[in-house]
Amino acid sequence: MIEIKKLHKKFGKLTVLDGLDLTINQGGIFAILGPNGSGKTTLIKSILGMVVPNKGEILLDNKSVLKKWNYRNDINYLPQIANFPANLSVKELIAMVKNLRPKPSNEEELIQLFGLSPFLKKKLGNLSGGTKQKVNLVLTFMFDSDLIILDEPTTGLDPIALIHLKNLINKEKEKGKTILITTHIMSLVDEIADEIVFLLDGKIYFKGSVIALKKQTEQDNLEHAIANLISKQYA
């Protein structure tokens, strides 16, 4: 479903993506991991068209998406920071997003799932970080799209909301959706990811299952396996 070929991106003299090649087949949960500065966010934003690479190709369903925009209607994206207009209410924000993206939506089901009914008339500027993240999740999952990109989706969530999020992700997977997740929470990756894509210095150093990574690094713990991968590259 996603094919990336020889992707290069520089910001000034800093090389962020260095000839990156990646193929992600349709269906499943893919965790894109790496330390800060590894190129994760730039990769995600390149797929979304928010960053234009210097060289390379990005194809979705065998069609190039570089310098195009209409394909984004078929992507659900959760940004890392829920940066909403402070003067809007939750209800007004949801209505605005629905007007901007005229597709069938199931926001009522998600509002109930995350317990947002008491907050619908409250201004976004008055909400806690965790509640804003729940609103962020509603906006992301209320449309039906084949590709879902989640950038640090667990930020600020309480344990119950986290359980609901994991169940929601798995339900989307069962529908055949492709879900890309960036996160620093290794327990989440260990629990739900079908494959790991590990980036370091703009290159992919591992692509495969959690079990395969643990076997390769001879570690039982995923955090230790990731640490082992990093230490070997900088040895």
What are the φ/ψ torsions at residue 229 (nearest 5 degrees)?
Answer: -60, -45
Q: What is the dihedral of CA 186, 16, 70, 180, to 10 degrees?
A: -10
Q: What is the dihedral of CA 105, 111, 113, 118, to 10 degrees?
A: -170
The confidence score (pLDDT) of residue 235 equals 57
List the domain boundaries for the chain. Answer: 2-233
- CA atoms of 178 and 149, how far apart (whole Å): 8
pTM given for the model = 0.93
Q: What angle (nearest 5°) sits at the alpha carbon of residue 143, between those of residues 81 and 50?
A: 45
DSSP summary character for residue 80: S
Mean pLDDT by runs of 10 across the 235 residues of the chain is 94 93 95 91 93 94 89 91 91 94 92 97 95 96 96 94 96 96 93 95 93 94 91 71
Q: Which residues lie closer than 8 Å to 18 by C-beta, 6 or more apart?
A: 8, 39, 201, 202, 203
CATH tag for 2-233 (out of 3.30.530.20, 3.40.50.2300, 1.10.10.10, 3.40.50.300): 3.40.50.300
Q: Please name every residue paired with 105 in a beta bridge, in sequence order, or none if there are none.
A: 143
Q: Which token pair is 214? A: 């643990």
The confidence score (pLDDT) of residue 210 equals 95
